[in-house]
Structure 1
Amino acid sequence: MKKNRWIILIASMIINMCIGSAYAWSVFQNPLISLFGWSTTDTSLAFTLSLSLVPVAMISAGKIQDRYGPKFVTMAGGLVFGIGLFLTSRITTLMGLYLSYGLLGGFGIGMIYTCMVGNTIKWFPDKKGLAGGLIAMGFGLGAIVFAPLGVNLIHQFGVLNTFAIFGVVFSLIIIMASCFLDAPHKMTSTSSTVVDHSLSAQAMIKKPQFYLLWILYAIGCIGGLMIIGHASPIVQSKVGLSSQEAAFIVSFLGLSNSLGRVFWGSVSDRFGRLVTLTTTYVVAASCLLALSLLSSLPIVVMAIGGIALCFGGYLGIMPSICAECFGSKHMGINYGLLFTAYGVAAFVGPRLASFIRDMNAGSYDLAFGVVMGLNILGLFIAGWMLLDSLKKSKPMSVNPA
């Protein structure tokens, strides 16, 4: 188990990097607009649809993965994802884009992601935070790795042919890497603090704790996705950078997002999940306060980097919290239900920032203040859960897992 689980982790990270290429959507958007003459709003809806389908697929595929293991579901997801990208290379209408990239692509991502998170957590009962963080980091690295590759391929072969190339290559990589996946036959742990409650999805949604965690997840993701979706115009408006200069800040944001998944996950293994989660809301609220009041370049860069770091942390920590609160047996479907908070945040965060900016002459300061208030609410909820857990001596919060 000690040897094989690391091979499974590496294979899972490679697979997640492939589906993480979805975060490189901005590389494809403008070429599609230039080719077909579509509006930015209409074209970007494909990306929104793709993100919104991820938690839906996670719930349905997660149940199958929990019962039959990750290999078959991941291979099927790789085919669906690859076919979606390949069919995107044949589109001529917006509806075709929505069905191929949005529907098939998003559903394939969800099928795969639930297996990567749910199965890996089961293999690492003693290092849930580290394993969850590395898996989440693999997804985050997808955009960093494949965005520049996509730019080069678009320049050489055109945007539609690039979709075809990615579709074929990603399907092959995912299917081959899936051969190394397997579910643990016996749930063991080297840590005496790990307890597997093994609640079904029906039992989980009856627990108030599920809804509190859902709210915390949504709050954290709203701020992170707001910054990710508006990073370039934010730094341009706050400190007067050009679009080319702002692109470097966006790359830094992606790196912070990826590193945050491993950093906070590892910290939670050492100091406890809720202690770490509470800390992220303090950091995020402080960074949002700095963004709303200050305009110097170093502070703005550090602030958006801090928010991205915390956003990555939520994606790295929440799988571990889900496993420790509700057990690992039904991790696939349970985390899929919790992950719907991300889907809601994907709609709310960027649109909230756009609405407030349009109502305030292009300024994001009020948006920062509103989301800071949400993070303060998250701080109180997480702090209350931490104190309640300390009173009850729950291992999730009192001791590192």
Structure 2
Amino acid sequence: MSQFSPRVAVISSDEQALIVASDLAEDFKRDSQLRDRERRLPLPELEVFSRSGLWGISVPKEYGGAGVSNVTLAKVTQLIAEADASLGQIPQNHFYALEVLRVNGNEAQKRRLYAEVLAGRRFGNALAELGTKTAHDRVTHLRRDGEGYRINGRKFYSTGSLYAQRIPTSVVDEQGVQQLAFVPRDSAGLTVIDDWTGFGQRTTGSGSVVFEDVFVAAEDVIPFQSAFERPTPVGPLAQILHAAIDTGIARAAYEDALHFVRTRTRPWIDSGIEKAVDDPLTLKSIGHLSIRLSATEALLERAGEFLDRAQADTNADSVAAASIAVAEVRAISTEISLAAGSTLFELAGSQATLAEHGLDRHWRNARVHTLHDPVRWKYHAVGNYYLNDENPPLRGTI
């Protein structure tokens, strides 16, 4: 495996994490439009991102990390996604894998893998597969080989794996049970293919990972399926990060709309006014967006608080409450990210469509990322919870 990144900071508090994220976001925003337009992979930015210590902020305090709240983790994700939506998404499954490790790993695995993260290693993911009956079915196979295992299969939507030192991979063992294998990126027979062609989130590296008789040590395999056979915070943790990404995209589109209307947009001839910022219909639209965005950010913080409680006291009720709070913000963040990206053009006018402004990236990023799982099922889960006292399914997609 490749060497650790040099001079990695260790963040020690929530406050420090937010300050570092805000500073990085300013830097990442500078060339985000160019990276999107040219599909320039953010390799230098990721090195800075890793060395900042932000990839280790969810490592529990007892293992040397900051153990930040989920309110802070979501806010950090939102800040980075606002600056560059792809950079905001790349660590999502890294944090997800760390939560699986927290709830299902043994002490030796936690000590070793958390130490790698604090030293600067990035975890990717190889979870989803194409061609299965549902998006949750898996056929990538894990078979015993001496003191370890061999993996064979092919994955897609492998966000972050192009940039990772380890690739947590969902596999089905010989008993038909899903495990999570933390496979070193440089393992023989493992191939990461940069074949992601989505029209949004263009630099997430969400392409293919191929396993051809790849060896993985037994100590690098962690139970996975059991994280969804009992109440755990794994599912809502994954989902709150998706909501934070969408909220960041929405905030970026909203801020660009404000800037463009203030500096470039001309008033409509029938309005009888001198400046676009005085157009009453524009003011109404901006107000409508602003209120919904503020509501989304408030719900994101609230969901983090519910998730914090579920991690501190994990039971069926606390996990269900956290899952519903996260589903609520997932629903509204989906809608506001799409609305902000679209309304931007309605208010800014034809000039805003020129390629040199790159404003289309906000809607493209939102449209691609919000397809991760269908928002219509969020409303179903929320309604069923409040009306029928039905807890949501124990999985990561509501």
Higher relative contact order at CA 8 Å, sep ≥6: structure 1 or structure 2?
Answer: 1
Q: Which of the five TM-score ranges fits, normalised by the shorter chain?
A: 0.3 to 0.5
TM-score by length of 2: 0.35
* Structure with greater proportional helix content: 1
TM-score by length of 1: 0.35
* Structure with greater proportional strand content: 2
